[in-house]
A and B are shown apart, each in its own frame.
Chain A
Amino acid sequence: MPLEAHIKEHPKNFHRFDALWTPSVIILDPNGKERFRIEGYLPKDEFRAQLELALARVAFMSKDWKDAERRYTEVLEHYPESKAAPEALYWKGVSLYKGTNDHTVLGELPGQFQEKYPDSEWALKTAAWVH
C-alpha cells in the first residue's frame, strides 16, 4: 500500500511521521506501527534489497517466523552482495530459531558469517554463539 508525501503538498505528514530528511521511506505494519525506515538515497538494487528487508521485518515483528525466514532468504538470494545481505542472514537465523527453538541454528551462524560476510558488523553479533 503506497502513500506519497511531498514536502510542499503534504507537510503535515512529515511532522506526523517524524520525517526530517528526504528522500525517506517508512514502512508501517498493517496496524500503523513503524517497522522500518530508509533515509537518504540508495542505488536501485540496494534500495530494493532494503525494501525486501523491510517486509521481512514486518513479518518478524508480527512473529510470523516462517514468513520472516522466507523473506530474509529471498533477500539473500536476490541481493547476496548488497549491504542488506548480512543483516538478512542474521535475522534469517534468528527467525529460524524463534520458529523452532532449536538453538543449534544460532551456533551455525558464526561459521556462515565467516564464510560469506566476515567483515560485517552482523558477524560481530554472532560471536557470542561460537561453540
Chain B
Amino acid sequence: MKVHWLTDADAALAEAKTQKKPLLIDFSAAPA
C-alpha cells in the first residue's frame, strides 16, 4: 500500500484535526 506522505506541517495538523485522526511524523536523515 502506497503511503501518501504530507510535507506541510501546518496542513497536516489541520487535516488531522478535521479528520480527528492522529498525526505520525517521521523524522529522517536518510538519503532520498
A interface, by DSSP: helix, strand, loop or mixed?
Answer: mixed
Contact partner, B22, options A10, A19, A22, A55, Cβ 8 Å:
A55
Bin chain A's interface residue count: 20 to 34
For chain B, residues 4 to 24, give those with C-beta under 8 angstroms from any C-beta of chain A: 4-7, 9, 12-13, 15-17, 19-24
Contacts between chains A and B (CB distance < 8 A), count: 104
B4 and chain A: residue at smallest CB distance: A2
Complex CA–CA separation, A26 to B13 (angstroms):
13
- Chain A residues, CB < 8 A from B15: 1
Tell me whether B22 and A5 are in contact (CB under 8 A): no
Q: Which residues of A contact B (CB under 8 A)?
A: 1-10, 13-14, 16-17, 19, 21-32, 35, 51, 54-55, 58
Q: List 28 A-B contacts (CB under 8 A).
A: A1-B16, A3-B12, A3-B25, A4-B5, A4-B7, A5-B25, A7-B28, A8-B29, A10-B9, A13-B9, A13-B25, A13-B27, A21-B27, A22-B27, A22-B28, A22-B30, A23-B27, A23-B28, A25-B26, A27-B24, A28-B13, A28-B25, A29-B22, A30-B17, A30-B21, A32-B23, A51-B24, A54-B22
Interface residues of B (CB under 8 A from A): 3-7, 9, 12-13, 15-17, 19-30, 32
